Amino acid sequence: MLRKIFALSIALLCLGFSETRDKVSLATITIQQHDEVYTLNKFRLTIIDAGADFVKTLVTADEITILRNAGYDVGILIEDYQAYKDEIFQRGFYHTYNQVYSVLDSFVSDYPEICRLDTIGYSVLGRAIWAMRVTDNPQVEENEPEIRLPGNMHGDEHIGTEITLYFLRHLLTNYSSVPQVQNLINSSEIWVLPTINPDGKVANTRRNANNVDLNRDYGFFWDGWGGSPAPSSQIETRSMMQHLEENNISLEYNYHSVAQYVNYPWDYHYADPPDSQYIILLSEIYADSANLTAINGYDWYQTTGCLQDYTIGTSGALAWTIETLEPSSSSAIDQICYDNRDALMDVCNRAGWGVEGVVKDSITNSPIYARIEFMNPDRIDVYTDPNFGDFHKMIEPGTYDLCILANGYAPKIIDSVIVPATGSVSVGDVFLTPDSSYLSAFRVVLCRYAMHAEVNNKTNPRFALGPEDSLWLSLGWSGYVVLDVGPNTPITDGPGDDFVVSEGNDGMDEGYNVYVSNDWSGSWISCGADTGTASFDISATGLSEARYVKIVDDGNTQGTQYAGFDLDALHFWYPAGIEEGSVLGEAIVNILLSPNPSHGQIDIRFQVLETAASRQKTEISVVVYDAAGRKVSDLADDAKEPGHYMVTWNGIDDLGREVPAGVYFVKLTTGDYGRVEKAILLK
């Protein structure tokens, strides 16, 4: 009997996990001006639409009471939103979860030469998340731009499933007869994911089986909205993140249904991304074709933890959220699908427009997982495909300077790359030379800035990548960032400290805590705390190596424009040809750097001994190198008699310029022998 009760309980859970939840209503809140929508964020409401004088939100009875007690005029549009969505689903022709699989399976059977069905993960209740890969060689990885089309992220917004399935059917059935379709499939790789919230689809609920809004769960400027307990906490979210990391996505459209908008980044902040001019142009092209309106996400209403911002913020792919109506009439559904099909054809054919190339190792000729930085003019970085080494940056016509960076390789700058008005320009095979002196933070995984909408703070997580420069990420009070140093170049435990955290110069030293792990989601092991630029040793954690570093503001200092710790860079070592503590030989002993760390001047003391080889003088050189192995300053290069000596470095390079704070290496050489000591320069 107990077995039957248990089985029945599980069945009821799988069929309708929303039964135990509070009834949700669709309500409208009257506001005097649009900016009031941002003050409503303190209530952590599920806002789905906003205008000049109204906000539409999904609310429980308790939330309605709280809003009315706070003085808001709340009107009920739909008393039982779940019942309303159930009726829409039953009246219109919307595929069920099982029907979606049947359609995908039949496509694979009918068109095996141009599509392949993958399962990229599973839901909370164990349902598969399917991804159909459409290309001319679906079993082979090729040098092509990749397009990703997820739908049904909110389980009760079924039009996303229909739009993506409709477009998929259009591609497959017209490949042999329509040149435009054939060219698209032959020149790109298209991922169609009709339902990325399977449990929500089955239960016809917005959220997943853990009652989390998946479009508030992604870890790029996450802030705990939509019931999300931690950044990228849900299994469905992590499946999409892993898919993004493994595939070089250039273009993404995520389908929803509460309005009629082409929603473009950012959602979390009012400041536009560097690519905004081109993003707006593409938004208008899609909107005109699909009978929608282009709108900036933050201008509409603020959202944190959304897929759109995560995709562009961590990978550089251009990403949008498409909002359409969700009618109950089958003919109206077909019209929406038709309009979006044409819009997709217009923009997807541009996925290969811009700059492309392949990054390879100059010795082995093997592909490299690299970051492509657009320096002049500034544009969002993109990454190569981890397996194939190709990159495809959608970018407006113009002339650009590129920098190709990969940990363990010397960077390469490519000047004056001219992007045509249509099509792409290829920089060909870019060969990087192995050089272990170039090691720094490679990719942003997660970030949280508690005051991310503060109007004065326009810093961005990508500012913390690469070497020190004039850009930094302000973490905000108690904010944090998780940095990835790459799958092939973990920080390894060596003699002394292993990495340095560099602070940007905003006029004050601020405190922070440092943690390391080999999993981006933890568990995290403390590596210490400090203020300003400082170095850290992972030996105290018990780890021999670590791939991820989490830097957390200590919450003790406050600022205005640059609140919280200002992270300029994260470096680790050892530089090529400079190994701390290498043997010097018999000629020099008792080397001492003092003070170390120093705020400006370091005295280097050493003793020259009388040796059998030289009773008189010994040739001595003292050279300072930076963390990348580049010579900074020659302090001494002459013959010295036996005795005690001191040379002083005042933080100035050979050209008379003040060097930035960071880790430096002082190398003393005599004959064939040398010794290196690490110096920490603070500002």
Position with higher pLDDT, 522 vs 396: 396
In the three-class reduction of DSSP (H, G, I as helix; E, B as strand; rest coil), residue 267 is classed as coil
Integer Cα distance of 486 and 407 in angstroms: 7
What architecture is domain 588-681?
Sandwich (2.60)
> Among 413, 396, 404, which Cα is nearest to 361's?
404
What pLDDT was estimated at residue 619?
A: 80
| Strand spans (E) along 472-510 | 473-474, 480-484, 491-492, 499-503
What pLDDT was estimated at residue 215?
A: 98
Helix 97-110 to helix 159-174 angle (10° resolution) is 10
Q: Reply yes or no on whether the pLDDT at 321 is more than 90.
A: yes
144, 189, 323, 510: which is the annotated catalytic residue? 323
In the three-class reduction of DSSP (H, G, I as helix; E, B as strand; rest coil), residue 3 is classed as helix
Integer Cα distance of 609 and 605 in angstroms: 13
What pLDDT was estimated at residue 568?
A: 93
335 alpha carbon, distance to own chain's centre: 35
Domain boundaries, the chain: 91-348, 354-432, 443-572, 588-681
323 flagged as catalytic: yes
Torsion angle in degrees (nearest 10) through CA of 458, 227, 33, 300: 60
pLDDT band at 640 (very low <50, low <70, confident <90, very high): confident
What pLDDT was estimated at residue 364?
A: 86
What pLDDT was estimated at residue 483?
A: 98
What pLDDT was estimated at residue 5?
A: 34
Integer Cα distance of 28 and 59 in angstroms: 10
In the three-class reduction of DSSP (H, G, I as helix; E, B as strand; rest coil), residue 329 is classed as coil
Tens of pLDDT, residues 492-508: 888 778 899 999 887 78
Look at strands 249-256 and 318-323 and give their pairing: parallel
Name the average pLDDT for the chain. Answer: 89
What pLDDT was estimated at residue 200?
A: 98
- DSSP characters for 67-117? HHHTT--EEEEES-HHHHHHHHHHHTT---HHHHHHHHHHHHHH-TTTEEE
Integer Cα distance of 76 and 84 in angstroms: 13
Quote the CATH superfamily of domain 354-432: Carboxypeptidase-like, regulatory domain (2.60.40.1120)
21 alpha carbon, distance to own chain's centre: 33
Q: Reply yes or no on whether the pLDDT at 21 is more than 80.
A: no
Tens of pLDDT, residues 566-616: 999 999 875 334 444 544 455 555 577 878 778 888 988 877 776 544 446
| Strand spans (E) along 423-541 | 424-432, 443-448, 473-474, 480-484, 491-492, 499-503, 511-517, 525-531, 534-536
| Strand spans (E) along 475-524 | 480-484, 491-492, 499-503, 511-517
Q: Reply yes or no on whether the pLDDT at 12 is more than 80.
A: no
> Among 244, 369, 229, which Cα is nearest to 314's?
244
Q: Reply yes or no on whether the pLDDT at 360 is more than 50.
A: yes
Q: Which of 24-38, 111-125, 267-281, 548-562 has the lowest mean pLDDT?
A: 548-562
Which position has the token pair 């440092």?
Answer: 514
Other CB atoms within 10 Å distance of the CB of residue 242: 12
Quote the CATH superfamily of domain 91-348: Zn peptidases (3.40.630.10)
Tens of pLDDT, residues 71-93: 999 999 999 999 988 888 777 68
What pLDDT was estimated at residue 599?
A: 80
- Tell me whether domains 354-432 and 588-681 share a fold: yes
What pLDDT was estimated at residue 340?
A: 98
- DSSP characters for 531-552? ESSEEE-GGGGT-SEESEEEEE
Q: pTM above the 0.95 mark?
A: no
Integer Cα distance of 355 and 342 in angstroms: 25
> Among 609, 623, 603, which Cα is nearest to 674's?
623
What pLDDT was estimated at residue 668?
A: 83
What architecture is domain 443-572?
Sandwich (2.60)
Q: Where is 358: in which H helix or E strand?
A: strand 354-361
Which position has the token pair 């409503």?
Answer: 40
Tens of pLDDT, residues 367-391: 999 999 998 899 999 999 999 999 9
Question: Rounded mean pLDDT of 4-23?
Answer: 45
Compute the C-alpha angle 315/318/319, nearest 5°: 100
Q: Which of 101-105, 114-118, 257-261, 591-595 has the lowest mean pLDDT?
A: 591-595
Position with higher pLDDT, 522 vs 1: 522
Q: Where is 348: in which H helix or E strand?
A: helix 330-348
Tens of pLDDT, residues 414-470: 999 999 999 999 999 999 988 777 899 999 999 987 655 455 667 889 999 998 887
What pLDDT was estimated at residue 586?
A: 53
pLDDT band at 351 (very low <50, low <70, confident <90, very high): very high
Q: Reply yes or no on whether the pLDDT at 621 is more than 80.
A: yes
In the three-class reduction of DSSP (H, G, I as helix; E, B as strand; rest coil), residue 584 is classed as coil
What pLDDT was estimated at residue 15?
A: 40
